[in-house]
Amino acid sequence: MTETETPARSRGRPRRITAASMENAALFYLRRFDSTAENLRRVLMRRVRRAAMHPETAVDAAEAARWIETVVAKMIRLGYVDDARTADLKARGLFARGTPPAMIRRRLMLLGAGEAEIDQAIEGIEDGCADAELTAAATLARRRRLGPFRPAAARAERRDKDLAALARAGFSLETARRVIDAADAEDLQEEIRTAD
């Protein structure tokens, strides 16, 4: 190594945590992901815990917690963090992929959304259809080519596995049977339309 070269920072050792680095980390994270305030706190606390594993980068936990609260409050004030918006976006995205409302509720709780935001997001997806669970199950079946979306020759032998796939995704047995036992995709879509 010559005089002008600087030694590479060890990959295993994080940088020292400061108030500015917490804000920069939050901005970097929020550029890539929509987040709730609680989730952002968790992300920033993980950085603090990782730094605490190395004596040369450790900071006082109470001071780091104050920095995190300041950063989260600033991100909320600037509009970068909005729990209601995040819950709504996540709920709509999960529903579009065929996730049942009960599982969406659990996922939003894990993300740190509040009960009011979760209720509002679930109401938002249920407003568009009378039977949100059936609609989501049909969406998942279409995506994974289950039941009426499977070639007719293979339907009977794969029925139990298709039912199990929907059950593992969080759908009730009744809903799974309605989807998997539908005569064909058009009949299933008609049943969804008449439920509306």
Q: pLDDT digits over 19-73, tens only?
A: 999 999 999 999 999 999 999 999 999 998 888 887 776 788 889 899 999 999 9
- Domain positions in the chain are 19-78, 83-127, 132-195
Length of the chain as a residue count: 196
CB-based contact 22:66 (threshold 8 Å): no
Q: Has residue 17 got a pLDDT over 90? A: no
Distance CA 135, CA 131 (A): 6
- CB-count exposure of residue 153 (10 Å: 0-12, 13-18, 19+): exposed
pTM attached to this predicted model: 0.81
Long-range contacts of 24-33 (CB under 8 A, 24+ apart): 26/71, 26/72, 26/75, 27/80, 30/75, 30/80, 30/81
Token digits for 64? 């780091």
pLDDT band with cut points at 50, 70 and 90 for residue 12: low
Q: What is the pLDDT of residue 195?
A: 67
Q: Tens digit of pLDDT for each residue in 125-149?
A: 998 788 999 999 999 999 999 999 9
pLDDT band with cut points at 50, 70 and 90 for residue 102: very high
- CB-count exposure of residue 72 (10 Å: 0-12, 13-18, 19+): buried
Residue 121 has, within 13 A of its CA and on its CB side, a CA count of 30
